[in-house]
């Protein structure tokens, strides 16, 4: 499977032993932007969706490491209730505020545009989630008020559109 690297980060396929950290984040109050806290059963559904994206679509999610330590997750998913492929990210405690989400998402989006036929990707972000809005804007995404939103799990989110020519 694909491994991406940046100056500071290694983005690798998600592994079973990443699940506890993944579920721990989703169970925390930090996941309230994602309709959380989320129980382990629902977290497992999300986790396996992230893992399954590669064989189903040719793009997917990655575990993000800094110096060998698990720092977060980022990638693209397209579950049946999402109108378009979505790039999402979250950074684990101890790694917040270091630019990891921006660097990792930039690598994933650039790789996806280079290796698939996609020319547009969205990020569904709660308007109150200022940190994720800032990441999307640093990546060159534009607010797209006309874009369709997921039938569930969006709860007033805004849609930020990443385009092949607009990645920064």
Low pLDDT (below 50) residues in the chain: none
Q: What's residue 102's pLDDT?
A: 98
Whether the pTM exceeds 0.85: the reply is yes
Question: How far is residue 118's CA from residue 101's CA, in Å, rounded to a whole number?
Answer: 21
Q: What pLDDT does residue 153 have? A: 63
Topology of the domain comprising 4-118: Aminopeptidase (3.40.630)
């Amino acid at each position: 499977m694909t491994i991406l690297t940046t100056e500071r980060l290694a983005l690798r396929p998600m592994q079973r032993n990443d699940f506890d950290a993944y579920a721990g984040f989703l169970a925390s109050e930090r996941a309230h932007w994602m309709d959380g806290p989320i129980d382990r059963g629902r977290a497992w559904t999300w986790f396996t969706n992230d893992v399954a994206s590669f064989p189903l679509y040719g793009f997917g999610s990655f575990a993000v490491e800094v110096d060998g330590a698990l720092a977060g997750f980022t990638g693209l998913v397209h579950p049946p209730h999402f109108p378009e492929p979505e790039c999402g990210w979250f950074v684990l405690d101890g790694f917040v505020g270091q630019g990891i989400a921006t660097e990792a998402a930039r690598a994933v989006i650039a790789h996806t545009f280079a290796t698939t036929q996609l020319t547009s990707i969205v990020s569904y972000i709660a308007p109150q989630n200022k940190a994720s809005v800032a990441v999307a804007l640093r990546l060159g995404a534009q607010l797209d008020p006309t874009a369709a939103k997921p039938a569930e799990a969006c709860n007033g989110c805004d849609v930020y559109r990443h385009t092949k020519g607009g990645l920064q």
